[in-house]
Amino acid sequence: MGKRLEVFSLSFLLALLFCAMGCADSGGLAVLGKGGTLGFGGELATGITSDINARLGLNTFDYDFDEEFDDTEYDIGLNFCSFSALVDWHIFGDSFRVTGGLLSVNHELDLDATPTANENIGGTVYTPAQIGTLSGDVDIDGAAPYLGIGWGNPLDRSRRWGFYCDLGVAFTDSPDVALSANGTLASDSTFQANLAKERDDIEDDLEPFKLYPVISLGLYYRF
């Protein structure tokens, strides 16, 4: 995670904590733990009005797996980190809510592939020696508006703890892809042009993720 995001996240979390400390004695502060498509993380929640709550949180996740993009098998390393600033409106005064806010996203995918057979790169077939190792990264980075629905009110005075869930969409920018190779044709202009086509094909495969699905389940405890 970049320094800006670290400072931004810490500043807002501290602001919420100091703001909410005055509400803690009256049951106006809750902590939440969750897991989902943003990774695993935690949140602090406090009440603004009787039916509106504010939440701030951090999410992280690291994972390695294999995936095929444009007919080439890649080893992929995920490094997810995000900060969330959300407002929940319990429209009917019960568990159901509509949520809006902002996500500061820094998601990185490291791509590595070492072909052992001929591969199609940008419409042309190359040998493993000509390709060498394909290395790249995919970045989803920046502030993204969020809109969703959910169930569970961590500031519900009738209980100290409970379950909650979120279902929504973050409107991120399209992922940026970088791709390079170190084979015998690494400096060949035609190969580089085809490598650029391969990169564009991967970006096309990832285009749907500019509407990033946010699904999470968690537990809360109210102080």
Domain hosting residue 116, numbered range: 3-222
- E strand segments, 152-202: 161-171, 176-181
| pLDDT tens over the chain, length 223 residues | 444 544 555 555 555 555 555 444 445 789 999 999 999 999 999 988 889 999 999 999 998 888 777 667 788 888 999 999 999 999 988 899 999 999 999 889 898 988 888 988 888 999 999 999 989 898 988 889 999 999 999 998 888 899 999 999 999 988 889 999 999 999 999 999 999 998 998 888 888 888 999 999 999 999 8
The predicted structure's pLDDT at residue 223:
84
- The CATH number of the domain holding residue 44 is 2.40.160.170
Phi, psi of 70 (to 5 degrees): 50, 45
Helix/strand/coil for 45: strand
- pTM of the prediction? 0.78
Tell how many helices (H) and how many strands (E) occur in the chain: 3, 11
Q: What is the residue whose two structure tokens read 């902002």?
A: 102
State the burial class of residue 73 (Cβ atoms within 10 Å of its Cβ: 0-12, 13-18, 19+): middle
| Tally of domains in the chain | 1
